[in-house]
Chain A
């Protein structure tokens, strides 16, 4: 029996969906609330506002794809579901960025790791970033609500061998580790979350909040790229979007959206991009600045026994041993996790070519990969990047600083020590010039002396945050602690762009919980 596709079923039952790519004439659509973006923030807000009895339109730049399209192949998943076919890079090309671009946003393609906002992050925001009302105690009910809504619970099965190596290394070394909570229901443990869940087990926005909103009367408009917000005085009065064809090329069809209230939830690159293009007032020049990535380093390790990192829940263990070790604003900390191992991902995110690369790929199933996500945005030498407009769109200029490189060296050492402790035969820090290292003592010395530099060292990111920070002090924030614009009475922001720093944790649950709080407050205001 084939897997039922809830999107196909819903559309057949009469859900309101407009594929802007099929429109032949300009359109104007109206609702109480227009939400730009359908990821973790947009999806959560859509369900809450619809349930409150408000009419809602969700505008998504990407296509509507669903489980019938998720065939577990990178070659179709990346162009269909990711920004720039998963090839997006920072301005100098030194950091590769994975970000979703389809209905459901990054929740459609993420690896399901669900972590509440770490307390040190919340404390730093309160003490240094003028954020109010986001203490652990105040957020707990919202996290509980979203954990229940999205079936977030600790992974009850054995980790796959890739994650087990992380766990074993931590156990051997006496390091902290945690079993990951995942937003899944009836997971088949296949390992293909990053290509769209083929069995609808992942509780992404695509199969949870967005269907609930559509069932409640909301309208979804896909393949409509928001160009700008039209504004006058302290009011937004329209959102202007361009229809896109299936290859995401602009079509000569415009869609105008009008609403009482507007929510930007286009993610931490596109929300600031829309704001910049719209020339929103920004007296303290905040928009697009302090954009964070959790810039991530990779360390490969060869094991004798099969690792088969493509199979099984991609992430089920993490280690916070080094995340907050030096205090929030001390030397940069890093979180240890593992990625899923699939051919394009590994072939492109490793180094070299010819015989050496072919040999690495031939040992694909013996390869364990550990990643270190560097917590950026706290240390004074970690200001993050800046979203800037370009002729065709925008770019994220993110210079890698000395503080980052110091953290990178420590992270490579930690990863190598962990991998040898877990039984690796040899370890390969993924940076130009590094050979396979045969022991921890050899690795320790080589990593101490290794060259680290942009483009030579492979750096990736799957977590884009900041660029439109929240807080009460207008000198350092664009929206208040409820995500409401400081300058427009009918504009809110509900996505990862509101974080004043990175999180030191995978961001989806932080976006769900904080959006649930802020969208509930907005619904109450709009209904009163």
Chain B
């Protein structure tokens, strides 16, 4: 595989605040690309692993945070330069197909059928891999998820961070 043919990008995200529909459903064991061209189901499986400990504890708030993050990821992908978009789409398509999963994870089991420990093992194996493409896959997804989650002011309460409000006060 060529050096640049399969490298995901690293991203910094934005979010649009409209609450999307939660596509995550445990009934789905495989992804119908036509029904999920935004890869929401795939990310809904990965978010709990990446954001373990960062999510709100209250289930309703957690669901809202997940939807917000999925929206932000979708928006971020839409504004990427063409080259980065193609690289990322290639990775996501591989993760949604059995052959791609076999190449990337050594197993054809769909990600949504794997438990948290198995998903952590998968991320750790990429993270510590000696293969550049595995590390870039991990880092691209990691940065996309982290940037998208922390782009939303609603997710800053654990940080005790808030932007100054003088602009609003001056209006």
Contacts and interface: CB of A to CB of B under 8 A. Distances in A.
B43 interface: no
Given A73-B163, A190-B164, A355-B53, A85 B170 contact: no
Contacts of A84: 80-81, 84
B139 interface: yes
Nearest to A311: B164
A353 B156 contact: no
B14 A87 contact: no
A354 B124 CA distance: 11
A344 interface: yes
Contacts of A359: 53
A330 interface: no
Interface string A350-386: 0001110111011011000000000000000000000
Contact of A392 (B81, B120, B155, B159): B81
Contact of A1 (B3, B152, B164, B170): B170
A364 B76 contact: no
A432 B127 CA distance: 9
Interface string B142-170: 11011101111101101111011011001
Interface stretch (A90-98, A166-174, A290-298): A90-98
Given A93-B139, A362-B159, A364-B159, A392 B83 contact: yes
A74 B143 CA distance: 14
Interface stretch (A38-46, A75-83, A317-325, A476-484): A75-83
A358 B9 contact: no
A455 B128 CA distance: 10
Given A75-B15, A357-B53, A198 B147 contact: no
Taking residues whose C-beta sits less than 8 angstroms from the other chain, chain B's interface range is 35 or more
B81 A347 contact: no
B171 interface: yes
Contact of A354 (B10, B50, B76, B81): B50
A74 B123 CA distance: 27
Contact of A74 (B9, B151, B158, B167): B151
Given A343-B161, A348-B147, A75 B171 contact: no
Contacts of B80: 84-85, 87
B37 to A, nearest CB: 18
Interface of A: 1-3, 71-76, 78-79, 82, 84-87, 89, 91-93, 96, 188, 190, 192, 198, 247-248, 310, 342-344, 347-348, 353-355, 357-359, 361-362, 364-365, 390-393, 432, 455-456
20 contacts: A1-B170, A72-B163, A75-B14, A82-B12, A85-B76, A85-B80, A87-B12, A87-B143, A93-B7, A342-B161, A344-B12, A344-B13, A344-B146, A347-B146, A358-B52, A362-B158, A365-B160, A392-B83, A393-B81, A432-B128
| Shortest beta-carbon contacts, A-B, top 8 | A358-B53, A75-B151, A75-B14, A343-B150, A358-B54, A355-B53, A354-B52, A347-B146
